[in-house]
Chain A
């Protein structure tokens, strides 16, 4: 029962946040200095064209009406008309969404595969050679620009060794796995610098806990202690860290998509800046924020399912 009410409570908390997200996204348009229509049209500005754009963006109405209209459109699943593509911004975003989702999921999997063994080994052999090496690697890795690492990977693995495609998204599941391997690895490595550190310290905390001593006294095998206590707790902390650092993962995706020319939301966002496609910028920002809120909710629920202590807090 407690679990259901926990989930329900978390769901209710999401509502004001979603409302706030729409407010911030709406006000983005009002950050544009001067007349947005003039910014969009540039030298091809005429009174008639300007009026048309102002009307399309809803700028010819009072502020409150503008927001209500924005919300009304949003409830119908619309974030306006793309200025560059001349079709609904939603359609443009929907086309680009799968690549980004795939890349985020792929990166998360690769990051877990790297971090869980590395974090646990570091903790088990605290102060050992592996631990020291991991410490230095995470220190340098944290300061490394992902886009730069991506270029170096392209240079080494795609161009010199010819192992992976240089760019693009590929077709079919296998094609995606192949094309997105280097981008996912780049994002995962940056993400691992945080994951490894967190896993190391949480594993150290578990190893110092009383129940581990109890288990040892009971004569339970080392393997069983590691698999039943240490590993299980590590899984819980991975879920938590993912929830906390999801925004970091998404930021990495936005940049890396541009390095590898992946047709996702990140490259769409950056392209829309230069084409002054304001509705698309708003739409992508909104989608990313909803994604963060949604996945955070999901990790909280998973966390509660894995760790009964959460619900009682």
Chain B
């Protein structure tokens, strides 16, 4: 769940990377992942075309309407807001968390790992000690602690993830960079007098990027769950927002009479998470890393 870049994910990636390809239907996994995420992204972006309900419009006459009643496919919440509309619009926030949190740390962490592994020396030693330190903290606890200090908000949640999540990417990239910089073609590129940045970007990075991308998909699942968990705890997106975790938290008060308030947004999270997992599995098989 939450713990995006914890060692578990590194472990998962290494295992995925080691798994040999050749399994029938590997493209099906990839296509299924892309399709799920594509549909969810398109539906949340095109939300105004799909539903005429506004996610924030209150309807005092129809609170807690069950699904498939009075024109509300998925029912309404305690304020009469349409759940379907809220899930669609909420998808914008949750997908933004998945892409925004993952994308930034992906780029920054890879760059740091590349430089650290390539140049070695004291820069490498210092950076890797920092990485080790961050790994001593349970990721989720550290994110909450940082959010606590900065003040709970969706932006500060991003900052907390950015501050802590790059370490996994740095560790993966560094490990592979160290192996690759001893390879003949890298040595040849250096012997030809290419500049460091050219060797790093043209010769090493392309051979590392598949490992990093596969990890990023697992990390994205973690970030979706983390964003939702912080929304649920009131430390990320705030209640009027249709963020899925915040919706689950709202609905918890009405769980006895109206189960749909909490359960339906949770299903949306599961769908997005499965989408990223399938995409990661499919990518691992497609790129045949480890062969």
Contact = CB atoms under 8 A, between A and B. Distances in A.
Bound pair: A and B?
yes
Interface of A: 16-17, 20-21, 23-24, 28-29, 31-33, 39, 139-140, 142-149, 151-152, 154-155, 159, 190, 194, 197-198, 201, 241, 244-248, 250-252, 254-255, 258, 269-270, 272-274, 276, 278, 281-282, 284-285, 288-289, 292-293
B137 A21 contact: yes
B255 interface: yes
B149 A17 contact: no
Contact of A145 (B133, B229, B276): B229
**Interface SS of chain A: helix, strand, loop or mixed?**
helix
Given A245-B6, A255-B140, 19 more contacts: A17-B136, A20-B133, A24-B137, A28-B146, A32-B149, A142-B221, A147-B245, A148-B248, A155-B259, A197-B12, A244-B8, A251-B138, A251-B140, A252-B3, A269-B141, A273-B148, A278-B149, A284-B145, A285-B141
Contacts of A20: 129, 132-133, 136
B233 interface: yes
Interface of B: 1-3, 6-8, 11-12, 15, 129, 132-142, 144-152, 221, 224-225, 228-229, 232-235, 245, 248, 252, 255-256, 259, 262-263, 266, 269-270, 272-274, 276-278
Contacts of A278: 148-149
A179 B141 CA distance: 24
A244 B6 CA distance: 8
Dominant SS at the B interface? helix
B98 to A, nearest CB: 12
A124 to B, nearest CB: 19
B41 to A, nearest CB: 16
A143 B145 contact: no
Contact of B15 (A140, A190, A201, A254): A201
Nearest to A139: B277
8 contacts: A24-B133, A24-B134, A39-B151, A142-B221, A250-B140, A252-B1, A270-B233, A289-B141
A82 B140 CA distance: 22
Contact of B270 (A144, A250, A254): A144
A269 B11 CA distance: 28
A287 to B, nearest CB: 9
Given A144-B270, A255-B2, A247 B7 contact: yes
A239 B274 CA distance: 28
B133 A251 contact: no
A159 B255 CA distance: 10
A255 B1 contact: yes
Nearest to B281: A139
Contact of A140 (B141, B274, B276): B274
A260 to B, nearest CB: 11
Contacts of B2: 146, 248, 251-252, 255
A251 B232 contact: no
Contacts of A155: 255, 259
Given A143-B270, A252-B2, A29 B139 contact: no
Contacts of A252: 1-3
Contacts of A29: 149
Central interface residue in A142, A149, A190, by most chain B CB within 10 Å: A142
B11 A198 contact: yes
Contacts of B134: 24
Given A24-B137, A245-B6, A255-B2, A144 B149 contact: no
B148 A145 contact: no
A251 B149 contact: no
Contact of A281 (B8, B145, B224): B145
B148 A292 contact: no
A270 B6 CA distance: 20
A201 B53 CA distance: 48
Contact of B248 (A16, A147, A244, A288): A147
A24 B141 CA distance: 13
A199 B144 CA distance: 31
A244 B138 CA distance: 11
Nearest to A195: B8
A278 B148 CA distance: 8
Contacts of A247: 3, 6-8, 135, 137-140
- Give the 7 A-B CB pairs with smallest separation, nearest first: A143-B273, A251-B140, A148-B266, A20-B133, A247-B138, A31-B149, A250-B138
A273 B142 CA distance: 12
B262 A148 contact: yes
